[in-house]
Amino acid sequence: NAGVTQTPKFRILKIGQSMTLQCTQDMNHNYMYWYRQDPGMGLKLIYYSVGAGITDKGEVPNGYNVSRSTTEDFPLRLELAAPSQTSVYFCAARPTMNTEAFFGQGTRLTVV
């Protein structure tokens, strides 16, 4: 039972490069989330989605874009990587609001 799968696990980007962090879930959950976690800090919500075709901004959306074309996938796009985006990124999914969320194991991104 895979749950929430994030790829890649690690990545080093140069300033100005772009990349897509992949998140896929096999639980058929409607709600999906992207978070970033800086060293020693809590999780900050970047974007979230309540279903295919619906996305909304979280606390720190600047510099990121998302799409949700299917229930399973919720990719996070960085267009022009900056050192400030060095962080660990977590994806999560849950069936609806007021239910348990399941998290992936994270993607550690370094921008140099």
Partner 1 sequence: DAKTTQPPSMDCAEGRAANLPCNHSTISGNEYVYWYRQIHSQGPQYIIHGLKNNETNEMASLIITEDRKSSTLILPHATLRDTAVYYCIVTQRGQGAQKLVFGQGTRLTINP
Closer residue to partner 1 (CB): 59 or 79? 59
Task: List contacts with partner 1 (CB under 8 A).
Answer: 4, 31, 33, 35, 41-45, 48, 50, 56, 58-59, 88, 90, 92, 94, 97-98, 100-106
Q: Alpha carbon of 11 to those of 7, 42, 102: distances in Å?
A: 9, 21, 23
**Least CB distance from residue 63 to partner 1, whole Å?**
19
| Longest CA span, the chain | 39
Cβ 16 to partner 1 shortest distance, Å = 27
Give the position of tokens 């619906």.
54
Q: Which residue, 58 or 63, is less far from partner 1 as judged by CB?
A: 58
Q: Which is nearer to partner 1, 38 or 79 (CB)?
A: 38
Query: How are strands ordered across the β-sheet holding 64-66?
Result: 4-7, 19-25, 76-78, 64-66
> Nearer Cβ to partner 1, position 73 or 102?
102
Nearest Cα to Cα of residue 86 among 7, 14, 4, 1: 14
